[in-house]
Amino acid sequence: MQSDASASLFGGLIDALESDWSTKARPEQLPPPSGWSIWLYLGGRGTGKTRAGAEYVHTLSRYASRIALVAATAADCRDVMVEGESGILATAPNHARPEYEPSKRRLTWPNGAQATMFSSEEPDRLRGPQHAYAWADELCAWNRARDTWDMLQFGLRLGSRPRTFISTTPRPTPLLRSLIARVGQDVAITRGTTFDNRANLPPSFLAQMRSRYEGTRLGRQELNAELLEDVQGALWTRDMLEKARIKADDLPAMRRVVVAVDPSGARSADDEGADSIGIVVAGVGVDGRGYVLEDCTCKDSPAGWGRKAVSAYRRHRADRIIAERNFGGAMVQHVIRTADSSVSFKEVVASRGKIVRAEPIAALFEQGRVSIVNGLSELEDELCAFTAEGYAGGGSPDRADAMVWALSELMTGCAGPVVVMPLWDFLHPKNQGKPWQIRR
């Protein structure tokens, strides 16, 4: 009996030692010295941000706290923060493993501490609950960042000093800028790069990242976690896109919608050397303004991206799918027709270079004649790397190219905000008496 008790005690001691995060973590993965309410951990891809967040939650759970877990989407919160390889469940010590109730979006520890899952897609879910602590993951990818952040802060009112841990790869969003401006007041910041975590990453991955992205603007942001402001001479700026942003719920009815495809040489989903296939949906509203509706860009086999393009076409009730003829147009048409032979398809000809095509579209944004739906951060990153001299983002701007093709099809040649209204819309009582213009 005494032997069993000793074995149990010894096993518990070994478990506690193995789960002591402070002995394994790098300095930037541990909480800064006291004096902060918000800990901002800026890290590149694969830096260990998720592990740092999960371990911080385990520490907080010892105090029987109420913790909010917030991610860009509900799937991200579940798949990364909770169920991921470095998430809360995978890193929990045996002696303090939480009970997971997915249907309730909740984790409960043996001592009564609870963590509840939220997403930036539904900021109003944060209106009622109260919390003492929060872990906000990938803040710069949040769809409704300011609304979600505000609702989270209003609910952090338990305990003597509520605190928030933010783990994110940096992008120059207004919210991140405002938090960095508070460093030294109530915000503390730590930083890490992808290569700081080389001991836990495959050498092949690191080699590929170095060869393809090292020294590029995208690599500096995504690997070295540098906060990069606007590129000098960029056709699009962050402020321009911020002013152009619109919530999906606020979109007007569309009078025309197209799906633009920017093809690559990929023959399969595993073709690592090929660029992504740019697939962007855009429309012209009944108000005559342009709207970027969705970014479906992917790296997939022809059959796979063909289905995605057709699915977007059906989902948005688009008029047609367009693709560049002199760079894979015939191939794209074959792929699209194979996926759905009834789809309306149009080939477009690139008689001018990418930058020349992009400039008039950037001018439309600058004039306030185009809006872009919230959450298309990767597309925005590509747009902000377009300059009059070329593309400064590294790789190919597949998303941006597709968007330019879509808006060129919809808006080039329009002298101003004009409206073509279907007869059934014109006759609707809510539209009677409005000064609609009909374009000839």
Reading the block at residue 423, the tokens are 């007869």
The C-alpha atoms of residue 196 and residue 435 are separated, in whole angstroms, by: 61
| Residues paired with residue 337 on neighbouring β-strands, in sequence order | none
The C-alpha atoms of residue 107 and residue 419 are separated, in whole angstroms, by: 52
**Residue 320 reports pLDDT greater than 50:** yes
The C-alpha atoms of residue 111 and residue 180 are separated, in whole angstroms, by: 35
Chain CA centroid to CA 152, Å: 19
**Residue 132 reports pLDDT greater than 80:** yes
The secondary structure of 154-173 as a DSSP string is HHB-SSSS-EEEEEE-----
Handedness of CA 58, 63, 64, 67 (dihedral sign): negative
Which pLDDT does position 326 carry in this prediction?
A: 59
Amino acid at 67: I
**Residue 158 reports pLDDT greater than 60:** yes
Which pLDDT does position 215 carry in this prediction?
A: 67
More confident residue, 273 or 416: 273
pLDDT in tens, 375-427: 888 898 889 888 877 776 666 788 999 999 999 999 874 333 333 334 444 44
Among 315, 313, 350, 308, CA closest to 329: 350
Q: Which residues, 6+ apart, have CB-to-CB distance to 289 below 8 Å?
A: 252, 369, 370, 371, 417
Handedness of CA 330, 336, 341, 345 (dihedral sign): negative
For residues 361 and 370, is the Cβ–Cβ distance under 8 A? yes
pLDDT in tens, 324-382: 875 555 688 888 889 988 999 988 877 677 888 888 999 999 899 999 998 888 898 88
For 39, the 3-state DSSP assignment is: strand
Q: Which residues, 6+ apart, have CB-to-CB distance to 291 below 8 Å?
A: 246, 251, 252, 254, 282, 283, 284, 285, 370, 371, 372, 373
**Residue 291 reports pLDDT greater than 50:** yes
Which pLDDT does position 423 carry in this prediction?
A: 41
**Residue 130 reports pLDDT greater than 90:** yes
To the nearest whole percent, how much of the chain has pLDDT over 90?
A: 54
Which pLDDT does position 393 carry in this prediction?
A: 63
Reading the block at residue 2, the tokens are 């005494």
Average pLDDT over the chain, rounded to an integer: 84
Which pLDDT does position 418 carry in this prediction?
A: 32
- Whole-prediction pTM: 0.64
Which pLDDT does position 4 carry in this prediction?
A: 55
**Residue 432 reports pLDDT greater than 60:** no
Chain CA centroid to CA 294, Å: 12
The two most distant CA atoms of the chain are separated, in Å, by: 94
More confident residue, 233 or 400: 400
The C-alpha atoms of residue 31 and residue 167 are separated, in whole angstroms, by: 12
pLDDT band at 83 (very low <50, low <70, confident <90, very high): very high
